[in-house]
């Protein structure tokens, strides 16, 4: 897959999002998505006061690695989930690759997304 092409399109389509190394730190409350290139997964994570609730959310100090990339800037689960569905559709259409969408339980994303319906 041509990651650079995908990321360029994403930055053009969603300029308000922070992607990969553009993220210096998180602030406030919100949701972030980890796009795992290796496992073909889009995982939703919740953060509060700029911190992930669980150490299992972000295991390295880097926002961008060979295995995946972080995308931050979602105010709620529905916004993050819609982004994931749109991203999956884009990846299927342009690269023929399907990604699963999941909410991370350890940080509370699963429970919050369940509440939002």
What predicted TM-score, i.e. pTM, was given to this entire model?
0.91
d(CA 39, CA 54): 20
Contact between 22 and 39 (Cβ < 8 Å): no
- pLDDT higher than threshold 60 for residue 112: yes
Please give the pLDDT value at position 1: 53
**Domain tally, the chain:** 1
**Beta-bridge partners for 37:** none
Instruction: Using pLDDT thresholds of 50, 70 and 90, give the confidence band for residue 116.
Output: confident
Q: What is the DSSP letter of 67?
A: S
| Tens digits of residue pLDDT in 23-76 | 988 888 999 999 999 999 999 999 999 889 888 998 888 999 999 999 999 999
Query: Which range marks the domain in which residue 62 is found?
Result: 3-116
Please give the pLDDT value at position 19: 92
């Amino acid at each position: 897959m041509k990651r650079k092409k995908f990321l360029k399109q994403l930055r053009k389509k969603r300029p308000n999002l922070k992607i990969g190394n553009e993220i210096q730190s998180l602030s406030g409350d919100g949701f972030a998505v980890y796009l795992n290139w290796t496992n073909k997964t889009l995982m939703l994570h919740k953060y509060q006061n700029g911190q992930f609730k669980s150490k299992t959310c972000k295991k390295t100090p880097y926002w961008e690695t060979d295995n995946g990339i972080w995308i931050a800037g979602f105010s709620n689960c529905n916004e993050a989930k819609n982004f994931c569905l749109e991203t999956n559709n884009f990846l299927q259409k342009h690269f023929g690759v399907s990604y699963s969408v999941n909410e991370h339980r350890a940080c509370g994303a699963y429970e919050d997304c369940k509440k939002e319906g």
